[in-house]
């Protein structure tokens, strides 16, 4: 058994080592990454951890010792007199604090001493060493493996930011810096590549690396390469005594230096600068993957020296990864309020985009099996299994998603995941619709999971927002038989108040005060805005945005309800009207019709309206020359996008529709308007240009 465990670890280490080596080669030598930086870093971190725990099982071919890359044989070799080292990384505040402490320990300074540092954005480009002899550019070399780099002089001379001659330079001068491409120019470059059917670059860094490492300098010449200078190959006391001074010297030599650098005293100022650069990251026109801190004083730098791979006087504080590998611990099936079954990945907690993530969506059964919604193979058709390493990412603030899997840690005894064949919430039958990849439980109100989800949705912030009534309370009241529909919430005080047979205050964990508080907050929610009420009903494809659109359009519950009942009874013109509201799709319209057709809905709504008072949509208070009018946009607008124009019109109290009808009051016409304009003229609808419309609204 012990040997078996050993075997597994050796297999894991070897498999991880292979993955790292391959990814590293693709990244450094072929400039076409297999993995994102975050994914690569997380694999390396896993490997290092496993290696540390099992120091005697490390494979001979340890890839960590040779990250970076041997120079490609396509280029002549250049030896770096002073190794061109990479920086060690800090992944969090603690690492930075430890770095600062270790520097002071090494220098024999008091821990209370506040050291001077220079902090600057870490540009995601390619390091380049430029050697000048008697002021003339002699060689330009990539990092390579740190000791020997590739000679790319013929390409470097095509970069405008790199001076070819320097006046008043020392006899030998080596300047180091980063070759990069601006984000804006990167996009143009890819557009150009696409038009020529040439290789599309994955990111600006790869484009920069691929452009610099060209055999034909004519190609490099036409690439928008730039260069920031930031250090010297040798620390020369003759030139400067600190990093801060050096930057001035480099600038005087004619180099471009990054203006966004900061002098910092002590570790707290470093961390503040990090925040500052992190916040403006998106607005910078170059890719930044962290902040570099350098001990400012050159005599300190000299004492500190270097380890085998990195200097002791600098560190790169990396931004949180946007995606990362982590272990899939289990797959849970959640039942949504409309009966949809969603598989959720429970993960070993991992930091992504600065947030700890411990679960991610797995979309549906097909996704787990290795197919997309259209039945095409994804991930080469490899399925996802519990125990796998999965790469997780967040896009915006939405639920984290699983991007890919890595088989390095999959063991022989791992088993495919089987989707349940009955509902985990009620044991009911599952149905998979032909044209949908989702599986649903159709038990409706007899499915415990669905009822609980509907109830949770009803009381949520976007619904009637009842403080003190959360998931835990709902489950406990449901299991006691106190709540089975949202109506019961508003009867809780009547049925379970202090003078009732089963008073809430007598339940475990409840008391007089907390029970009163809950009843009060339920009473507070009896006045409910129309959009919140519609959303609270939990109709499929009718979420927050659609509810708001409906509330703005129909204004009052009476009108909305009447129209919905007409639609349910088959009145086609009302259905048409609904379907024509800008922002309402056919799917939502269909679901609304189905919802209001049901007897169950009729009863629920009737009972709810005895308990609550639905108020007009709050956003309809604006009085403007267009409030209440139905307007249609057509053609392409100049001043704003269609969606901006729409939300502006709604803010001004207008209703926006997609088609010309008897209700249309104004057609706003942009360039290239066609059939709608004709129709509007036929129907005698007022037609305005974009300018006229803006003037009218603002009058």
Residues annotated as catalytic are 122
Parallel, antiparallel or unpaired: strands 613-615 and 340-352: unpaired
Question: Minimum distance between the CB of residue 430 and Zn ion, rounded to whole angstroms?
Answer: 8
Question: Minimum distance between the CB of residue 421 and Zn ion, rounded to whole angstroms?
Answer: 12
The string over 651-669, giving b where at least 16 C-beta atoms fall within 10 Å of a residue's C-beta and e elsewhere, is: ebbbbbbeebbeebebbbb
Q: Integer distance in angstroms from the first to the last C-alpha of the chain?
A: 83
Parallel, antiparallel or unpaired: strands 225-232 and 314-318: unpaired
Question: Minimum distance between the CB of residue 597 and Zn ion, rounded to whole angstroms?
Answer: 22
User: Footprint of Zn ion on residues 556-585 (CB under 5 A)?
Assistant: none
Question: Minimum distance between the CB of residue 536 and Zn ion, rounded to whole angstroms?
Answer: 21
Nearer to Zn ion, 194 or 471 (CB): 471
Instruction: Give the integer Cα–Cα distance in Å for 490 and 497.
Output: 12
Nearer to Zn ion, 202 or 475 (CB): 475
Q: Minimal CA–CA distance to 24: which of 72, 73, 64?
A: 64
Task: Specify the DSSP class assigned to residue 283.
Answer: G
Question: Minimum distance between the CB of residue 431 and Zn ion, rounded to whole angstroms?
Answer: 11
Question: Minimum distance between the CB of residue 438 and Zn ion, rounded to whole angstroms?
Answer: 14
Would you call 546 helix, strand, or coil by DSSP? helix
Sequence-ordered list of residues with C-beta below 8 angstroms from that of 128, at least 6 positions apart, any chain: 140, 141, 142, 143, 152, 156, 176, 177, 178, 179, 212, 227
Residue 231, beta-bridge partner list: 176
Question: Is residue 238 classed exposed, middle or buried when 0-12, 13-18 and 19+ CB atoms within 10 A define those classes?
Answer: exposed
Nearer to Zn ion, 100 or 365 (CB): 365
Instruction: Give the integer Cα–Cα distance in Å for 179 and 174.
Output: 15
- Residues 567/412, Cβ–Cβ less than 8 Å: no
Nearer to Zn ion, 341 or 546 (CB): 341
Would you call 306 helix, strand, or coil by DSSP? strand
- Residues 523/494, Cβ–Cβ less than 8 Å: no
- Residues 430/441, Cβ–Cβ less than 8 Å: yes
Nearer to Zn ion, 407 or 431 (CB): 431
Write the interaction track for Zn ion spanning residues 123-152; mark x where CB under 5 A is met and - where it is not: ------------------------------
Instruction: Give the integer Cα–Cα distance in Å for 449 and 434.
Output: 24
**What is the token pair recorded at 608?**
């709810």
**What is the token pair recorded at 458?**
């009803």
In the chain, DSSP finds a helix count (H) and a strand count (E) of 25, 24
Looking at 279-287, 350-358, 447-455, 459-467, which segment touches Zn ion (CB under 5 A)? 447-455
The string over 399-430, giving b where at least 16 C-beta atoms fall within 10 Å of a residue's C-beta and e elsewhere, is: ebbbbbbbebbbeeeeeebebeeebebbebeb
Question: Minimum distance between the CB of residue 474 and Zn ion, rounded to whole angstroms?
Answer: 17
Question: Minimum distance between the CB of residue 540 and Zn ion, rounded to whole angstroms?
Answer: 15
Residue 59, beta-bridge partner list: none
Question: Minimum distance between the CB of residue 353 and Zn ion, rounded to whole angstroms?
Answer: 34
Looking at 403-411, 446-454, 500-508, 614-622, which segment touches Zn ion (CB under 5 A)? 446-454
Nearer to Zn ion, 448 or 532 (CB): 448
Residue 121, beta-bridge partner list: 291
CA quadruple 654, 659, 662, 665: dihedral, nearest 10: 30
- Residues 453/336, Cβ–Cβ less than 8 Å: yes
User: Footprint of Zn ion on residues 296-325 (CB under 5 A)?
Assistant: none
Question: Minimum distance between the CB of residue 601 and Zn ion, rounded to whole angstroms?
Answer: 19
Instruction: Give the integer Cα–Cα distance in Å for 375 and 437.
Output: 9
Sequence-ordered list of residues with C-beta below 8 angstroms from that of 529, at least 6 positions apart, any chain: 551, 614, 615, 616, 617, 618
Task: Specify the DSSP class assigned to residue 636.
Answer: B
Residue 288, beta-bridge partner list: 123
- 109 vs 115, 203, 654, CA distance in Å? 9, 42, 69
Q: Minimal CA–CA distance to 550: which of 593, 586, 582?
A: 582
Write the interaction track for Zn ion spanning residues 404-443; mark x where CB under 5 A is met and - where it is not: -------------------x-xx-x------------x-x
Instruction: Give the integer Cα–Cα distance in Å for 492 and 479.
Output: 14
Question: Minimum distance between the CB of residue 458 and Zn ion, rounded to whole angstroms?
Answer: 18
**Using the rule CB under 5 A, which residue among 277, 447, 652, 667 binds Zn ion?**
447
User: Footprint of Zn ion on residues 636-665 (CB under 5 A)?
Assistant: none
User: Footprint of Zn ion on residues 64-93 (CB under 5 A)?
Assistant: none
**Angle, CA 137 vertex, CA 142 and CA 29 arms, to 5°:** 15
Write the interaction track for Zn ion spanning residues 19-38; mark x where CB under 5 A is met and - where it is not: --------------------
Question: Minimum distance between the CB of residue 425 and Zn ion, rounded to whole angstroms?
Answer: 4
Residues binding Zn ion: number (CB under 5 A): 7
User: Footprint of Zn ion on residues 356-385 (CB under 5 A)?
Assistant: none
Q: Does 336 bind Zn ion (CB under 5 A)?
A: no
| In 29-143, alpha helices (H) | 37-53, 93-107
- How many other CB atoms are there within 10 angstroms of residue 189's CB atom? 22
Helix 544-554 to helix 557-568 angle (10° resolution) is 100
Question: Minimum distance between the CB of residue 329 and Zn ion, rounded to whole angstroms?
Answer: 24
Nearer to Zn ion, 447 or 592 (CB): 447
- Residues 525/466, Cβ–Cβ less than 8 Å: yes
Q: What are the residues binding Zn ion (CB under 5 A)? A: 423, 425-426, 428, 441, 443, 447
């Amino acid at each position: 058994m012990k040997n078996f465990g050993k075997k597994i670890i050796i297999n894991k280490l070897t498999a991880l080592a292979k993955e790292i080596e391959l990814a590293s080669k693709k990244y450094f030598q072929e400039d076409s990454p297999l993995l994102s930086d975050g994914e690569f870093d997380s694999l390396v971190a896993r490997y290092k951890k496993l290696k540390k725990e099992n120091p005697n099982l490390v494979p001979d071919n340890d890839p960590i010792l040779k990250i970076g890359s041997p120079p490609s044989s396509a280029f002549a070799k250049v030896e770096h007199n002073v190794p061109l080292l990479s920086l060690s990384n800090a992944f969090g505040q603690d690492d930075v604090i430890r770095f600062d402490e270790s520097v002071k320990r090494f220098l024999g300074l008091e821990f209370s001493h506040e050291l001077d540092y220079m902090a600057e954005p870490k540009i995601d480009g390619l390091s380049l060493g430029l050697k000048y002899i008697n002021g003339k550019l002699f060689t330009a070399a990539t990092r390579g493996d740190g000791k020997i780099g590739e000679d790319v002089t013929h390409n470097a001379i095509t970069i405008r930011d790199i001076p070819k001659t320097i006046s008043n330079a020392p006899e030998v001068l080596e300047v180091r810096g980063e070759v990069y491409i601006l984000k804006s120019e990167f996009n143009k470059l890819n557009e150009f590549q696409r038009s020529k059917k040439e290789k599309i670059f994955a990111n600006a860094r790869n484009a920069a690396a691929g452009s610099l490492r060209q055999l034909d300098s004519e190609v490099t010449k036409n690439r928008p390469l730039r260069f920031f200078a930031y250090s010297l190959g040798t620390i020369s006391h003759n030139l400067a005594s600190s990093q801060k001074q050096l930057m001035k010297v480099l600038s005087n030599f004619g180099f471009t230096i990054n203006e966004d650098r900061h002098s910092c005293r002590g570790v707290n100022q470093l961390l503040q600068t990090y925040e500052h650069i992190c916040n403006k990251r998106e607005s910078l026109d170059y890719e930044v993957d962290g902040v570099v801190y350098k001990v400012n004083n050159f005599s300190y730098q000299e004492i500190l020296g270097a380890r085998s791979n990195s200097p002791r006087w600098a560190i790169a504080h990396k931004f949180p990864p946007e995606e990362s590998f982590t272990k899939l611990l289990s797959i849970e099936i959640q039942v949504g309020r409309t009966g949809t079954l969603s598989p959720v990945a429970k993960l070993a907690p991992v930091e992504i985009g600065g947030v700890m993530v411990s679960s991610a969506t797995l979309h549906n059964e097909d996704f787990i099996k290795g197919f997309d919604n259209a039945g095409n193979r994804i991930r080469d058709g490899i399925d996802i299994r519990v125990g796998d390493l999965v790469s997780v990412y967040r896009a915006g603030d939405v639920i984290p998603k699983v991007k890919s899997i890595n088989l390095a840690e999959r063991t022989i005894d791992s088993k495919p995941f089987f989707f349940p064949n009955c509902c985990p919430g009620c044991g009911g039958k599952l149905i998979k619709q032909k044209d949908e990849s989702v599986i649903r439980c159709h038990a409706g109100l007899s499915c415990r999971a669905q009822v609980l989800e509907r109830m949770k949705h009803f009381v949520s912030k976007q619904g009637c927002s009842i403080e003190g009534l959360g998931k835990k309370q709902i489950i406990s009241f449901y299991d006691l038989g106190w709540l089975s529909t949202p109506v019961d919430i508003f009867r809780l005080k009547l049925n379970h108040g202090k003078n009732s047979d089963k008073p809430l205050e007598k339940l475990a964990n409840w008391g007089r005060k907390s029970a009163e508080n809950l009843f009060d907050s339920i009473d507070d929610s009896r006045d409910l805005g129309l959009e919140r009420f519609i959303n609270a009903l939990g109709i499929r494809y009718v979420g927050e945005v659609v509810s708001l659109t409906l509330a703005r359009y129909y204004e009052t519950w009476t009108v909305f309800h009447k129209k919905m009942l007409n639609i349910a009874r088959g009145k086609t013109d009302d259905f048409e009207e609904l379907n024509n509201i800008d922002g309402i799709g056919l799917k939502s319209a269909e679901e609304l019709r189905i919802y209001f057709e049901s007897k169950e809905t009729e009863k629920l709504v009737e009972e709810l309206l005895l308990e609550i008072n639905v108020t007009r949509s709050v956003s309809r208070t604006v009085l403007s020359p267009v409030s209440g009018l139905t307007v249609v946009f057509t053609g392409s607008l100049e001043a704003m996008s269609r969606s901006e124009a729409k939300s502006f019109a709604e803010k001004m109290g207008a209703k926006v529709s997609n088609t010309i009808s008897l209700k249309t009051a104004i057609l706003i016409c942009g360039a290239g308007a066609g059939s709608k304009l004709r129709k509007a003229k036929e129907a005698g609808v007022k037609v305005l240009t974009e300018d006229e419309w803006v003037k009218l609204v603002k009058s």
